[in-house]
Amino acid sequence: MAQTLQSSPAQSAAHSGARTDSRTPAQLIEQLALAGRSAQRKLALMSDEDKARALRSAAASLRTHAGEILAQNAKDVAAGQANGLTGAMLDRLRLDPARLEAMAAAVENVAGLPDPVGQVIDRSTVPSGLELVRRRIPIGMIGIIYESRPNVTADAAALCLMSGNAALLRGGSEAVHSNRAIHAAMAEGLAAGGAPADAIQLLPTQDREAVGAMLRAAGLIDMIVPRGGKGLVERVQADARVPVLAHLDGICHTYVHQAADPEMARTIALNAKMRRTGICGAMETLLLDAAFPASGEIIGALLDAGCELRGDARAQALDPRIVPASANDWDTEYLDTILSVAVVDGIDAAMDHIARHSSGHTDAIITADQQAADRFLAEVDSAIVMHNASTQYADGGEFGLGAEIGIATGRLHARGPVALEGLTTYKWQVLGSGQARP
Amino acid sequence: MAQTLQSSPAQSAAHSGARTDSRTPAQLIEQLALAGRSAQRKLALMSDEDKARALRSAAASLRTHAGEILAQNAKDVAAGQANGLTGAMLDRLRLDPARLEAMAAAVENVAGLPDPVGQVIDRSTVPSGLELVRRRIPIGMIGIIYESRPNVTADAAALCLMSGNAALLRGGSEAVHSNRAIHAAMAEGLAAGGAPADAIQLLPTQDREAVGAMLRAAGLIDMIVPRGGKGLVERVQADARVPVLAHLDGICHTYVHQAADPEMARTIALNAKMRRTGICGAMETLLLDAAFPASGEIIGALLDAGCELRGDARAQALDPRIVPASANDWDTEYLDTILSVAVVDGIDAAMDHIARHSSGHTDAIITADQQAADRFLAEVDSAIVMHNASTQYADGGEFGLGAEIGIATGRLHARGPVALEGLTTYKWQVLGSGQARP
């Protein structure tokens, strides 16, 4: 299918064998980034209605080309089976009509989100008489580096486009046919809907050197978003010269304070660990206050639900089924039915443990004591801090953002779930009446 | 004097010869950063009144120790003279009682600014019943790398402290005695005023390897702010693995649209170039619309004021005193009484020129045509865009921020003049009532 859809000029050039061969990876990235930046300048001026129309056209194109996308996806799945991908990896890779429809619907959902571009952050008039307006603008050129899930191609493209950013996408080799088909369908739809042709580009090579060139393209690419496992994020964070929006680990804690409601604590602990163990917001460590009277019930419920518990000596004393935790356990993101458990003496000990071992993603306190909750919410320095809720709520959709490009644990720009607003920055507009500075 | 003031524990350790010798630069930076991060956690919980009190105490300590600071500064000035520093460099280095009083007053000014920490950015309640609060928090540990002006030691320390951040300061070798004396006086005053001892640390060595270690200390230092000339900023941006808040160039444009008021255009152009030629907001390129009838008067006024004009062929036709511009001139920040001048055909040509040559710092349009102004303000993609005002207003004080740590032209986090708010980030506080995610 990729051949039957119209490619953008830069994509066509990038696909042309002769020119590809003569370019270094850095030259290829420069060419793509400059084409993207040029498209982005047009995109930045499109109204929210215009961007929404282009995205709805892209969603329609995904549906029109469903057969071709599924056929290309079948090639990837067959290759994955031949290459011995695990069942979980094949599941992430596989598309079917329902998943493809969900992908198109997700693009339409983004089209319906409020557009942050042009919003006034604040406005003031200073003594010189100048009026200052801080106004949201797109960040510019976003690089997305992702692994086997082909739906990221559509999701990330939609979020970037709706926030006025150009995107350069680089998906995993195992999904190369799927990604090309999805990108080609999206690009056709976006162009038909009035968006600039190079707004969303797919890196035309799986050469790993080209990924390295993306990571080093400071000044050409404004931000990199890695989407995938820890190995990918670690490599991107280590090598990037471009700012990276990401989180490495989700080592999320739930602290059950002495004044926690026992039934609420049991329900939340069970949910935070067992609802879905493989997501970054899943609880990985449970801290039980020594003064909380119902720790045994929570532990029993987790064990009965099939969770392996690894505890310190005081936790082990609560139930003989708890195995000893090693020093590494406190710093491990299991993403599995395993949980580390420690007994702590009061909120300060709990917050000390969290300060040492949290990955800064999401940490929660369960308590009926408002003062304890206020201290925890103020002093725990993670992107998301929760009171009386399951850490599994750490999600852009649950936060009312409509979608998310990822969850960030860095300390600049955007933290926690990041969606359209997190893909913008601002400029100062200064409105004068002839002021010359004394 | 540095010896007579109490040093913080980490500083004392760092000054101890035996331990310094046995540590690599990376180990030194790690030790200082961990001490600073520990102090920062206490600082993050101080109220605005407490931080203001500590800063006023630091200002008082600068006054108390004025004699010692000036004596140490005299050593630096004498060494600078012996080492052949230029007159301009010696002037930047030299302190006198008036400059020291201004330094103390600047610290008190920062103490009077509104504290952004704890401010609620937004608040919402989502369908699950969770209440979400986005609240400003300090960024964390800020590294400041600066050149000969010793007042940066006090300025940067005050801005970091008031915004709840720890600072690790590294000043230039030519000001080493001045910086140590100022830092020691500040540290004494801050500690006496109740701030944690390691909140503001001065790198105890001038070893350039230690600067390299600061730039690579991702995870230990959250942001680097270089303050100084282009060479310093360029090196920091090239080598840093930690995010950098800075601008490299201030190649600022003023576009005189055909509908500009001639008198306003002349006044603003003269001010934007000649008020102070050495600041980053000084105009470096003047774009004259071919349809603007009074270009000759503006050019005459600039030439008469002693400015060298370098023009394209059409500008040269306006006045025989204009010399030819080379291709490099359009990308040069003169910081001097030199200006490049081009004649352009309409706003699109002006914006094209700016897109190619602006450094993204500050660009202005002079016009009485609101539609042209609106287009310029929307489409020119610089940190600051101005209508009918001199680019010399690009300044945190003039923007009502009370001070500035610098002006940033990056595309993430904070852009334009950056003061207290730009030294913060946020966290999400999630307030539940027992929610477990379905």
- Which amino acid, residue A358? S
For chains A and B, CB pairs below 8 A equal 197
Element (H, E) at A34: helix A25-43
**Given this model, what pLDDT does residue A115 score?**
94
- What residues of A are in contact with residue B387 (Cβ under 8 Å)? 429-432
**Given this model, what pLDDT does residue B128 score?**
93
**Given this model, what pLDDT does residue B343 score?**
98
Q: Above 80 in pLDDT, residue A1?
A: no
**A139, A355, A387 ranked by CB distance to B411: nearest:** A139
Q: Please report which confidence band the pLDDT of residue A11 belongs to, taking 50, 70 and 90 as the band edges.
A: very low
**A127, A378, A435 ranked by CB distance to B390: nearest:** A435
Q: What are the residues whose beta carbons fall under 8 Å from the beta carbon of B219, sequence distance 6 or more? A: none
Q: Please report which confidence band the pLDDT of residue A235 belongs to, taking 50, 70 and 90 as the band edges.
A: very high
Tell me the per-residue pLDDT of A79-137, one tens digit each, with 9 for 90 and over.
Answer: 999 999 999 889 999 999 999 999 999 999 999 999 999 999 999 999 999 999 999 99
**Given this model, what pLDDT does residue B411 score?**
85
Contact call for B399 and A41, based on CB within 8 A:
no
* Other residues' Cβ atoms within 10 Å of the Cβ of residue B384: 27
**Given this model, what pLDDT does residue A21 score?**
57
Contact call for B415 and A400, based on CB within 8 A:
no
**Given this model, what pLDDT does residue B228 score?**
86
**Given this model, what pLDDT does residue B21 score?**
58
- What residues of B are in contact with residue A273 (Cβ under 8 Å)? none
- What residues of B are in contact with residue A378 (Cβ under 8 Å)? 45
**A44, A416, A426 ranked by CB distance to B428: nearest:** A416
Inter-residue contact A341 to A330 (CB < 8 Å): no
Q: Above 90 in pLDDT, residue A19?
A: no
Q: What is the mean pLDDT of chain A?
A: 92
**A382, A429, A430 ranked by CB distance to B427: nearest:** A382
ipTM over 0.85: yes
**Given this model, what pLDDT does residue A403 score?**
84
pTM of the predicted model as reported, rounded to 2 decimal places: 0.89
- Which amino acid, residue A297? E
Inter-residue contact A394 to B350 (CB < 8 Å): no
Residue A343 Cα, gap to closest chain B Cα (Å): 22
In this predicted structure, which of A264-278, B238-252, B350-364 has the lowest mean pLDDT? B238-252
Length of chain B: 438
Q: Above 90 in pLDDT, residue A379?
A: yes
Over residues B19-42, the mean pLDDT reads 89
In this predicted structure, which of A53-67, B75-89, B320-334, B405-419 has the lowest mean pLDDT? B405-419
Q: Above 60 in pLDDT, residue A4?
A: no
**A264, A433, A436 ranked by CB distance to B434: nearest:** A264
Tell me the per-residue pLDDT of A135-190, one tens digit each, with 9 for 90 and over.
Answer: 999 999 999 999 878 999 999 999 999 999 999 999 999 999 999 999 999 999 99
* Other residues' Cβ atoms within 10 Å of the Cβ of residue A209: 13
Inter-residue contact B151 to B99 (CB < 8 Å): yes
Of B218, B40, B38, nearest in space to A248 by CA: B218
In this predicted structure, which of A251-255, B218-222, B281-285 has the lowest mean pLDDT? B218-222
- What residues of A are in contact with residue B219 (Cβ under 8 Å)? none
Inter-residue contact A430 to A132 (CB < 8 Å): yes
Tell me the per-residue pLDDT of A392-434, one tens digit each, with 9 for 90 and over.
Answer: 999 998 998 888 898 999 888 889 999 999 999 999 999 999 9
Contact call for A431 and B355, based on CB within 8 A:
no
**Given this model, what pLDDT does residue A88 score?**
86
Q: Calculate what percentage of chain A has a pLDDT beyond 70.
A: 95
Q: What is the mean pLDDT of chain B?
A: 92
Over residues B112-128, the mean pLDDT reads 94
Q: Please report which confidence band the pLDDT of residue B410 belongs to, taking 50, 70 and 90 as the band edges.
A: confident
In this predicted structure, which of A311-315, B5-9, B362-366 has the lowest mean pLDDT? B5-9
What's the CA gap between B107 and B151, in Å, rounded? Answer: 10
Residue A178 Cα, gap to closest chain B Cα (Å): 31
Inter-residue contact B93 to B85 (CB < 8 Å): yes
Structure tokens at A234: 């670690």
- DSSP 3-state assignment of A297? helix
| Mutate which: B43, B119, B234, B411, vs A, most A CBs within 10 A | B411
- The answer to whether the Cα torsion of B85, B90, B94, B99 is positive or negative is negative
Q: What are the residues whose beta carbons fall under 8 Å from the beta carbon of B78, sequence distance 6 or more? A: none
Over residues B51-60, the mean pLDDT reads 98
Of A202, A219, A264, nearest in space to A390 by CA: A264
Maximum Cα–Cα distance for chain B, whole Å?
79
Q: Above 60 in pLDDT, residue B8?
A: no
In this predicted structure, which of A18-27, B36-45, B266-275 has the lowest mean pLDDT? A18-27
**Given this model, what pLDDT does residue B148 score?**
76
Contact call for A389 and B267, based on CB within 8 A:
no
Of B22, B36, B277, B276, nearest in space to B143 by CA: B36
How many Cα atoms within 13 Å fall on the side-chain side of residue B112? 10
Structure tokens at A313: 């000596």
Q: Above 90 in pLDDT, residue B78?
A: yes
What's the CA gap between A428 and A22, in Å, rounded? Answer: 42
Of chain B, the end-to-end C-alpha distance in Å amounts to 65
**Given this model, what pLDDT does residue A148 score?**
76
Helix A346-357 and helix A370-379, axial crossing angle in degrees, nearest 10: 20
Structure tokens at A387: 């009171």
Structure tokens at A115: 């557009």
Structure tokens at A243: 């700012």
**Given this model, what pLDDT does residue B412 score?**
86
Helix boundaries (H) for B206-254:
208-215, 230-239
Contact call for B399 and A434, based on CB within 8 A:
no
Contact call for A381 and B41, based on CB within 8 A:
yes
Q: Above 50 in pLDDT, residue B15?
A: no
Please give the residue of chain A at the shortest CA–CA distance from B37. A355
Tell me the per-residue pLDDT of A309-358, one tens digit each, with 9 for 90 and over.
Answer: 999 999 999 999 999 999 999 999 999 999 999 999 999 999 999 999 99
Contact call for B124 and A400, based on CB within 8 A:
yes
Of A361, A364, A382, nearest in space to A373 by CA: A364
Could you give the domains of chain B? 9-239 (3.40.605.10), 252-393 (3.40.309.10)
Contact call for A411 and B222, based on CB within 8 A:
yes
Q: Above 80 in pLDDT, residue B3?
A: no
Q: Please report which confidence band the pLDDT of residue B286 belongs to, taking 50, 70 and 90 as the band edges.
A: very high
**Given this model, what pLDDT does residue A18 score?**
39
Contact call for B393 and A243, based on CB within 8 A:
no
Q: Above 80 in pLDDT, residue B17?
A: no
Q: What are residue A304's phi and psi, to 5 degrees?
A: -65, -30
**A392, A417, A434 ranked by CB distance to B267: nearest:** A434
Please give the residue of chain B at the shortest CA–CA distance from A140. B411
Contact call for B426 and A436, based on CB within 8 A:
no
Q: Above 90 in pLDDT, residue A17?
A: no
